[in-house]
């Protein structure tokens, strides 16, 4: 990211900005908008005010190996032209405890700013209710301001408008609000997570619940992050969906999500699932908002693609969104995610990235076979960052296989096992009792002159062998077992080494066929 202080005057300063929260103006080289890892931005919610597009975002502050949402405040991004890639970042413009006297600090999760009929802006904010005795203290507050930049004040100082106690008792986590101001002035709020979506009418003041709370059904695979809008008389709901499995149009791994969408002809439904608007991103969570700005539609979403990024260190991206108006209701065309130009890869001996991965097991939906050759290992991985077998009925001798589209010369391999149980365990995920490599040569043959076959988890285990030329290589594992009970296996990364380093070949769109098939 190039910083251009001289451009700071391009966009007006927020009224409440203080020295440590001074806005900065940046020219982004492309997605994610802020990519240098100094400030993570998350849960984008775009909103337009006059000639400016704002994106309300959270701020991830988790340390690299912390798997938790450490989110103390909301930030704003602002631009007058997304194509210019010039953005102003307004840090720390709201903290839960600074606006809502009844809120705890931290957990500034996904909110939305919506312009009301009165021209003022309403900020729907999920925050923790400090003095609540509810099982889950997340609640939704409303703040109001004359501009997205604030200053914001609590519009409902007596407390949240939605919690597990008000306006009705519910037992969901009350987060991820999205609000629709309909053409007739009626107002609807939707919220929820973990597969449960509620909707309710608000009074025309944008604040007071009118009720009743209604369970929203029909949005296949709904997980969280609803985003409502109306276009040409049709109501659209975009959401993070996690209907997972090998045949799913959404995601192969349940910990990841696509952005799915559905439609309705009236605000509270019935809703109908329509398709996928964005394939899973690099972060396990997917959160997006859609907006029309100066005649062009955009989707803002987050990824783990910034420097040092991760599932809890997310960053906002923005891409164009197109509608297919040749059908009724008009369809959201799947968004094509773009990225800032990346440095060309250097030479490497690892050629796993140009292979397609397969495995003997039907991969349980918590794992992701694509993790095998994604080039990433983590100290504290989540399940989709590995291939694995644990399914309660674990296979004794599973294998994973790489298939190249043409024969490759190889003489080594490095594998990185995951385990949450010690060697010799028959439960959980344990290092294999033993393993070996086989290559295809008209039949499966073991590599020879082997040094290695270590099984220590959490570190690369390197194997060297006599050079073979093959199109398919297998790692065959003997799972750990004890007293007749077989443990699961997990592999974060599996590299295959050519004798000399070279620039990796681009990954092909089509998967090479199995060697046995030829």
Interface with ligand FUB (CB under 6 A): 42-43, 58, 69, 109-110, 175-176, 224-225, 285, 287
End-to-end CA, the chain: 49
Q: Which is nearer to ligand FUB, 57 or 413 (CB)?
A: 57
Query: For the chain, give me the number of helices (H) and strands (E)?
Result: 1, 33
From the CB of 42, what's the least distance to ligand FUB, in Å? 5
Q: Which is nearer to ligand FUB, 105 or 116 (CB)?
A: 105
From the CB of 431, what's the least distance to ligand FUB, in Å? 32
Bridge-based pairing of strands 271-278 and 187-193 is: unpaired
Q: Which is nearer to ligand FUB, 289 or 398 (CB)?
A: 289
Q: What does the block give as tokens for 48?
A: 């337009």
From the CB of 388, what's the least distance to ligand FUB, in Å? 24
Q: Which is nearer to ligand FUB, 59 or 86 (CB)?
A: 59
Instruction: Tell me if residue 384 falls in helix, strand or coil.
Output: helix
From the CB of 107, what's the least distance to ligand FUB, in Å? 8
Reduce the secondary structure of 185-243 to three states and give it as a string. Answer: CCEEEEEEECCEEEEEEECCCCCCECCCCEECCCCCCEEEEEEEEEECCEEEEEEEECC
Q: Which is nearer to ligand FUB, 256 or 403 (CB)?
A: 256
Closest-CA residue to 206 (of 226, 181, 237):
181
From the CB of 486, what's the least distance to ligand FUB, in Å? 35
Q: Which is nearer to ligand FUB, 289 or 329 (CB)?
A: 289
From the CB of 111, what's the least distance to ligand FUB, in Å? 9
The DSSP element (H or E) to which 435 belongs, if any, is strand 434-440
From the CB of 153, what's the least distance to ligand FUB, in Å? 23
* CA distance linking residue 63 with residue 72, whole number of Å: 13
Q: Which is nearer to ligand FUB, 224 or 493 (CB)?
A: 224
Q: 6, exposed or middle or buried, with CB in 10 Å at 0-12, 13-18, 19+?
A: exposed
Q: What per-residue string of b and e applies to 281-296 under the rule 16 or more CB within 10 Å gives b? A: bbbbbbbbbbbebeee
């Amino acid at each position: 990211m190039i910083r251009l202080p001289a451009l700071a005057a391009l966009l007006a300063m927020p009224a409440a900005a203080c020295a440590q929260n001074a806005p900065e103006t940046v020219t982004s080289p492309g997605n994610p908008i802020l990519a240098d890892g100094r400030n993570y931005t998350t849960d984008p919610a775009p909103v337009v005010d006059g000639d400016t597009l704002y994106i309300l975002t959270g701020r991830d502050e988790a340390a690299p190996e912390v798997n938790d949402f450490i989110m103390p405040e909301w930030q704003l991004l602002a631009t007058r032209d997304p194509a210019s890639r010039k953005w102003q970042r307004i840090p720390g413009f709201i903290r839960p405890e600074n606006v809502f006297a009844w809120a705890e600090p931290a957990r500034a999760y996904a909110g939305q700013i919506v312009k009301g009929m009165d021209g003022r802006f309403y900020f729907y904010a999920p925050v923790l209710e400090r003095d609540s005795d509810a099982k889950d203290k997340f609640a939704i507050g409303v703040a109001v301001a004359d501009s997205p930049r604030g200053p914001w004040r609590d519009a409902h100082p007596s407390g949240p408008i939605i919690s597990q106690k008000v306006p009705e008792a519910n037992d969901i986590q009350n987060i991820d609000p999205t609000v629709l101001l309909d053409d007739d002035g009626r107002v609807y709020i939707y919220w929820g997570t973990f597969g449960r979506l509620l909707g309710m009418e608000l009074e025309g003041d944008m604040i007071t619940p009118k009720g009743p709370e209604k369970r929203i059904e029909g949005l296949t695979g709904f997980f969280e992050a609803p985003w409502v809008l109306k276009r040409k008389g049709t109501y659209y709901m975009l959401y993070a969906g996690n209907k997972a499995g090998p045949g799913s149009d959404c995601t192969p791994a349940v910990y990841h999500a696509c952005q799915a969408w559905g439609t309705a002809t009236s605000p509270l439904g019935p809703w109908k699932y329509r398709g996928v608007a964005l394939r899973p991103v690099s972060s396990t969570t997917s959160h997006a908002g859609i907006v029309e700005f100066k005649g062009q539609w955009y989707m803002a979403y987050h990824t783990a693609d910034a420097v040092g990024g991760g599932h809890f260190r997310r960053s906002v991206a923005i891409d164009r969104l197109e509608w297919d108006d040749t059908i009724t209701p008009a369809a959201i065309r799947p968004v094509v995610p773009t990225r800032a130009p990346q440095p060309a890869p250097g030479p490497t001996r690892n050629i796993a990235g140009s292979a397609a991965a397969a495995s003997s097991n039907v991969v349980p939906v918590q794992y992701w076979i694509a993790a095998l050759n994604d080039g990433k290992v983590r100290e504290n991985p989540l399940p989709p960052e590995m291939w694995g077998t644990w399914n309660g009925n674990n296979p004794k001798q599973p294998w994973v296989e790489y298939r190249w589209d043409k024969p490759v010369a190889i003489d080594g391999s490095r594998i990185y096992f995951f385990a949450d149980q010690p060697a010799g365990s028959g439960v959980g995920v344990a290092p294999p009792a033993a393993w070996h490599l086989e290559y295809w040569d008209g039949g499966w043959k073991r590599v020879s002159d082997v040094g290695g076959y270590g099984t220590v988890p959490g570190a690369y285990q390197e194997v060297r062998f006599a050079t073979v030329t093959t199109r398919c290589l297998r790692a065959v594992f003997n799972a750990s077992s004890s007293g007749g009970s077989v443990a699961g296996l997990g592999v974060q990364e599996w590299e295959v080494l050519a004798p000399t380093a070279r620039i990796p070949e681009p990954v092909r769109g089509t998967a090479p066929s199995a060697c046995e098939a030829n």
